Structure 1
């Protein structure tokens, strides 16, 4: 059996996060699970509170927004393409009082469409919806983001 020394994708994403988005790393945002078509990330409540004792809105935004990059790393050829966010809407549902976890996924059909269009045109837009839940499973926020997979050098 061959020894695959490649680290898990969540480890790769966390390393990239530390160097490319240091403020998210400082917040304690951490990729939990990253695989083709799926990503989840968590962030602690401690150190991320606001003036009335719940998680600051920008922290909720960040833990959800980084999922677009995490899914892109897991689903597309990073030697050819990189992700960017073009627009993101957040819907606050309940105050976040505990650590939270954000999750998002893309279907295989959508991954195939994005890859085909990016190969053809050098870029492809895609929508990603994320759900942010507290430690009790209560939805505290939902996002809908417009992302783009773009070819390097374009």
Structure 2
């Protein structure tokens, strides 16, 4: 899947094609709603449907976790450039309350984050960088927190 992602993401419109037809998203109700042109902001929605509810009728935890999976890695790949290798290293989810509606996650990186990563990796050859994603329901209530560690090294 990594080669498939790399090939698609290098072409115009490839990212959109990838996220529309990526099986873990396609079959779980996950939809990318917005991607900034500079890949520094992404908004994702998980619709609550009969096929992604858990036993008690709320958002399935695996789908909540899946909706946060590749985005920081992709954002860093797009923003750091070809001199860097980026991998998801670790993810951890903390469930706060049941998701009883559609839920949303927003991913952001800015110039300061990019420059700090480049500085550390250029100095040390590699590094691990933490990111936190909040999953919220329609009313803005926190449903879950996902902590991610992205591994970055020089090529």
Same fold (TM over 0.5): yes
How many residues are paired up? 142
TM-superposed CA distance for 1:112, in Å, is: 0.8
Residue in 1 that maps onto 2:102:
99
Residue in 2 that maps onto 1:72:
76
Residue in 2 that maps onto 1:13:
15
Structure 1 distance, partners of 2:130, 2:43, is 16
Residue in 2 that maps onto 1:3:
none
**Structure 2, unpaired ranges of 5+:** 1-10
Residue in 2 that maps onto 1:30:
31
Spell out the pairing of 1:1-154 with structure 2 (5 A cutoff): 12-17=14-19, 22-35=23-36, 36-46=39-49, 47-77=51-81, 79-119=82-122, 123-151=126-154
TM-superposed CA distance for 1:141, in Å, is: 0.6
**Structure 1, unpaired ranges of 5+:** 1-5
TM-superposed CA distance for 1:52, in Å, is: 0.7
Q: 1:67 touches 1:103 (CA, 8 Å); kept in 2? A: no
Q: 1:34 touches 1:40 (CA, 8 Å); kept in 2? A: yes
Q: Deviations over 1:34-92 (max 9, x none)?
A: 33433221111112111110011011111123331342244222x44453211112111
Structure 2 distance, partners of 1:25, 1:124, is 32
Q: 1:104 touches 1:128 (CA, 8 Å); kept in 2? A: no
Q: 1:72 touches 1:82 (CA, 8 Å); kept in 2? A: no
SS in 2 for 1:24: helix
